[in-house]
Amino acid sequence: QIQGTIFPAPNFNPVMDAQLLGGALQGISCEKDVLIDVLTQRCNSQRVMIAEAYRDMYGRDLITDLKENLSHHFKEVMVGLMYPPASYDAHELWHALKGVDVEEKCLIDILASRSNMEIYQIKEAYLMQYNNDLQQDIDSEISGHFRDTLLNLAQGTRMEGFADPSAAAQDAMILWEACQRKTGEHKNMLQMILCNRSYQQLWMDFQEFQNISGQDIVDAINECYDGYFQELLVAI
State how far the alpha carbon of 25 is from the alpha carbons of 2, 35, 143, 144, 176, in Å.
35, 8, 44, 47, 57
Which stretches of 61-198 are DSSP H helices? Answer: 62-69, 72-82, 85-98, 104-111, 116-130, 134-141, 144-154, 165-181, 184-196
Looking at per-residue pLDDT, the higher value among 56 and 185 belongs to: 56
Of the chain, the percentage scoring pLDDT greater than 90 comes to 81
CB-CB neighbours of 101 under 10 Å? 6
State how far the alpha carbon of 134 is from the alpha carbons of 96, 98, 113, 122, 215, in Å.
11, 11, 16, 9, 36
Exposed (0-12), middle (13-18) or buried (19+): which is 234, by Cβ within 10 Å? Answer: middle
pLDDT tens digits along 133-189: 999 999 999 999 999 999 999 999 999 888 898 899 999 999 999 888 878 888 899
* pTM across the whole model: 0.84
Q: Which domains are present in the chain?
A: 14-81 (1.10.220.10), 85-155 (1.10.220.10), 165-235 (1.10.220.10)
pLDDT tens digits along 99-135: 888 899 999 999 999 999 999 999 999 999 999 999 9
